[in-house]
Amino acid sequence: IRDSNRTTRAQTHNLNLNLDYELDERNTLSFSSTVLYTPYFKYNIFNNTNITDPNGTFLSRFTADNSSRDEKYNIGSDLDYNHRFDSGADLRVNAHYTRYDYQRNQGVFSEFFDENNDFDSDSEFITTANQVTNIITSKIDYSAPLSDNSGSFDVGAKFSNIQTDSDIIKEDLIGETPVLDPLNSDAFNYNENVYAGYLNYSRSWERWDLNIGIRAEQTDVRGESVSLNTINTQNYLEWFPNISLSHDLTDDLSFKANYNRSIVRPNYTNLNPFTFFLNENTVVVGNPALLPTFIDHAVVGMSFLNYFTIEAYYKNFDGNINELPLQNNETNIISYAPVNVDKTVDYGFDFIVDFYMTDWWSIYAFTSFYNISEETFLNESFVSLSQWSNYSGFYNTLYLLDDSSLSINFNVDYASKFLSGLSFVDPLILSSLSVSKSIWNDRAVLSLSVEDLFNEQDVLWRNQYLNQFNSNFIDQDNRFVKLGFRYNFGNTRLTTNQRTSNIEERSRLKESEN
C-alpha cells in the first residue's frame, strides 16, 4: 500500500507575435510565433509504502522523498503565404518550425524499516534528463470552387521532420559521492519523416451535402538507444479515406452519416526507453517500439425539431496507446509503461438537446450509453475486458436583469463506472456553479465560481486481471471558490490578428505527468 502526497509549484511565461502584410489585394504574407518559457516547475512527492503478505500481515515499510525541478522552453513559428486567384481559388503555403528544450533534475531519498518498523537502511540517487526536439513542417493547399459554386475541390501535400535527442544519467549517492548507474543511464535519438498528400471533394445540391476524400501518408521512423545498442525502425504507407453525407428530409428533420480513418502517433517522451524512479518500487518507463494508433470511426444520426439530435457511433482502435501499470509480483515493482492495446472497440448511442426554455434561460443536455471492450496479449497471456457505461451532462445559463448583465451558469456531468486502459474507473460527478456581472458599460466583469460542489471528482481506478491486482486513488484539490475581476483597458472595439498554431506534431510534446 503506497500513500503519496504531491505538491507542485510552477512559473510560466507566454509571448505571442503576429504580423500580417498585404503584398497586394490577392497576396498576403503572415508570420506568427509563440514562446512558452517555464523557468521553474517543481514538485515534491512524499511516499510512504507498507508491504504486507497476502493475509495483510505487516512485513516492512519504506519512505521516499522525491524532489524534481524542471525547466523548459517551447518556441513555435509559422510563415504563411496566401494567394487568391481570379477564379476564386485559394493557394496556401505554410512553413513551421518548433524548438523544444526540456530538462529535469530529480533527487530521491529513501529510508527502509524492518518487520518491527525499526530503521534498517537508506539510499539516495539523482537523475538528470534532457530532451531537445526540433520539428520542421511544410505544406501546400489548393482549394478551387466548382464551376456552379455548389462545392469545392481541394488538394494538398505536407512534409514533416521530427528530430529528438534525449539522454538520462542516473547516479547513486554513496555517502556524498555520486556513482554512475550504467543500467539506468542512456541516450536516445529519434528521427521521423512523414510525407502526406490528400484529395477532397465536397458538393451541395437541393437538400443533400456530400464530402469525400482520401489522404495517404508515408512514414519513416528510426529510433536508436545508444547504451543498449538497439535500433528500432518503422516504414509504412497508410491510406485514410473519409466520407460524409447529410440530407434534409424536411425543414425539421435531417439525417447524416459519416466515416473516417485516422492516425494518432505516440508522443516523443513515451518513445524514450528511459526509467524514471518515483520510489524504490514504482517506476515510469518508455517504449521505443510503440506503434501509432489507427482509428476507424463511423456515425449515423438524425436531428429534428431544431432542438434534438440522436446518434449512433462505432469506433475501432487498432493499437490504442495506454499507459498501463504493470505489476511484477516477484520484485514488487509497478512499472507505468505505454503499450499498444491490440484492439479497443467503443460503440454507443448519444441523445442531445439544445434549446432556450425562455429568452433568458438556455439549456444544453446530453446522455450517452456506450460499451468499451479491450483485448490484448499481456505477459504472453490474453486479456479481454468489457463494460457498458453512461456519460451524461446538463449545462444551463440564466441571463438576468434587463440588460442581461448578470449571468448564472450551473453545469454537472455524471460518468458511471467505465473502462479505460484495462482499468475500471469508479463513478464520477463533475460540477460547477459560476456567477458573473458586467459593470461599467461592459468594460469590467466581476465573477464568482465554485468547483466540485458534491466532492465527487476524485478518481479511483482498479486493475484486476491475470496476476495484476492494484488500485490507485487520486485525491486532487478539485474543490475551490474563485473570485475574479477583469477590466478591459484601451479601445475595446479593436480586433486582434492573434492566431493559434494548430500543428499536429506539436501536440505530441508532452512530459510525463508522474
- Predicted pLDDT at 514: 53
Spatial separation of the C-alpha atoms in residues 103 and 167, rounded to whole Å: 10
Instruction: Supply 293's cell numbers.
Output: 494508433
Strands 282-285 and 333-358: parallel
- Predicted pLDDT at 502: 67
Q: Closest Cα to residue 125, out of 334, 325, 8, 276?
A: 276
CB of 19 closer than 8 Å to CB of 31? yes
Count of other CB atoms within 10 angstroms of residue 219: 18
Q: Closest Cα to residue 195, out of 214, 213, 217?
A: 217
pLDDT tens column, 338-396: 999 999 999 999 999 998 888 899 999 999 999 999 999 988 889 999 999 999 999 99
Q: Is the dihedral of CA 177, 225, 332, 469 positive or negative?
A: positive
Spatial separation of the C-alpha atoms in residues 368 and 311, rounded to whole Å: 9
Instruction: Supply 342's cell numbers.
Output: 491490440
Phi, psi dihedral angles at 251 (to 5 degrees): -65, -20
CA atoms within 13 A on the CB side of 331: 10
Phi, psi dihedral angles at 458 (to 5 degrees): -70, 145
Q: Closest Cα to residue 255, out of 263, 266, 265, 244?
A: 244
**Coil/strand/helix, residue 280:** coil
Query: Residues, the chain, total?
Result: 514
Count of other CB atoms within 10 angstroms of residue 275: 19
- Predicted pLDDT at 255: 96
Instruction: Supply 195's cell numbers.
Output: 510525407
Spatial separation of the C-alpha atoms in residues 239 and 220, rounded to whole Å: 15
Burial, 171: exposed, middle or buried (Cβ in 10 Å; 0-12, 13-18, 19+)? Answer: middle
- DSSP label at residue 267: P
Spatial separation of the C-alpha atoms in residues 281 and 105, rounded to whole Å: 20
- Predicted pLDDT at 149: 82
Spatial separation of the C-alpha atoms in residues 41 and 105, rounded to whole Å: 11
Q: How far is CA 197 from CA 110, 151, 154, 155, 160, in A?
A: 53, 20, 11, 8, 12
- Predicted pLDDT at 513: 54
- Predicted pLDDT at 196: 97
- Predicted pLDDT at 348: 97
**What pLDDT tens digit does each residue of the chain (514 aa) get?**
788 888 888 999 999 999 999 999 999 999 999 999 999 889 888 988 888 877 888 888 899 999 999 999 999 999 999 999 988 899 999 999 999 999 999 999 999 998 888 999 999 999 999 999 999 999 999 999 988 888 999 999 999 999 999 999 999 998 889 999 988 899 999 999 999 999 999 999 989 999 999 999 999 999 998 877 889 899 999 999 999 999 999 989 999 999 999 999 999 888 888 888 888 788 899 898 899 999 999 999 999 998 999 999 999 999 999 999 888 888 878 899 999 999 999 999 999 999 888 889 999 999 999 999 999 998 888 999 999 999 999 999 999 988 889 999 999 999 999 999 999 999 999 999 999 999 988 889 999 999 999 999 999 999 988 888 888 888 888 899 999 999 887 655 555 555 666 678 888 887 655 5
Instruction: Supply 228's cell numbers.
Output: 543498449
* DSSP codes of every residue in 95-156: EEEEEEEEEEEEEEEEEEE-TTS-EEEEEEEEEEEEEEEEEEEEEEEEEEE-TTSSEEEEEE
Count of other CB atoms within 10 angstroms of residue 28: 16
Longest dimension (CA), the chain: 86
Count of other CB atoms within 10 angstroms of residue 115: 12
Spatial separation of the C-alpha atoms in residues 249 and 257, rounded to whole Å: 14
- Predicted pLDDT at 329: 80
Spatial separation of the C-alpha atoms in residues 398 and 410, rounded to whole Å: 9
As beta bridge partners, residue 205 has: 208
* DSSP codes of every residue in 239-263: EEEEEEEEEEEETTEEEEEEEEEEE
What type of residue sits at position 433?
Answer: L
CB of 74 closer than 8 Å to CB of 35? yes
- Predicted pLDDT at 504: 81
CA 398 from centre of chain: 32
- In three-state form (DSSP H/G/I as H, E/B as E, the rest C), the secondary structure along 4-51 is EEEEEEEEEEEEEEEEEEEEECCEEEEEEEEEEEEEEEEEEEEEEEEE
Give buried/exposed letters for 448-463 (b at 16+ CB in 10 A, else e): eeebbbeebbeeebeb
Type and span of the H or E element at 419: strand 418-420
- Predicted pLDDT at 87: 87
**Coil/strand/helix, residue 223:** strand
Spatial separation of the C-alpha atoms in residues 320 and 310, rounded to whole Å: 27
